[in-house]
Amino acid sequence: MFFAVDNTDFAEDTADGKDTTRGTITVVYQKDNATGEVWSALGREKAAALHVFHAFTGADNVGRFSGLGKTMWFQQYMKVDRKVISALMKLTEEGDVTQDVKDALAKFVCLLYCPKGIHITSIPDLRWHLFCKHLAESSKLPPTAGSLEQHIERVHVQARVWS
């Protein structure tokens, strides 16, 4: 059994007047049990990559993406092809992260930030499109290619620790 805990701020009125409360999201999955409920619901490959998905989409020690919550990420995770799942699982392996893994994960990020009806698979192109066409604020843009690469490296370290 594997547990991952992520703290999240929720904007609410609080007794101390600071307008924030702390909430905790717990992700649980059965690591090597092909008959478990989570394995059955997600499928073997997606269940095996769930802890890396959690680290990639936002955990306290690796950072998270601005403006995207776990629900949006999880909905897209359930639709992704094997390349993304394979890329996530390769982050658990020793050695350097390959360009193929970085490219697959960049495409995954693009899927979430792209407006409906737009199909852009390059982070720089997507940032430019969102900035020019939608006048998106910087907080609503995907990370830069360099920032995403560093994020992937942090996730790689965390995935190695958790695996």
Interval 139-160: pLDDT, tens: 788 999 999 999 999 999 999 9
Whole-angstrom distance, CA of residue 159 vs CA of residue 153: 10
Asked whether the beta carbons of 48 and 33 are under 8 A apart, the reply is no
Q: What is the pLDDT of residues 72-122, one digit of tens each?
A: 899 999 999 999 999 999 999 999 999 999 999 999 999 999 988 999 999
Angle at 148 between CA 114 and CA 144, to 5 degrees: 65
Minimum mean pLDDT range among 36-45, 47-56, 69-78, 92-101? 36-45
How many beta carbons lie within 10 A of that of residue 84, not counting itself? 22
Closest CA to 136 of 65, 69, 71, 67: 67
Q: Go through 126-136 and write b for each residue having 16 or more CB atoms within 10 A of its CB, e for each that does not.
A: bbebbeeeeeb
Higher pLDDT, 31 or 113: 113
pTM of the model: 0.76
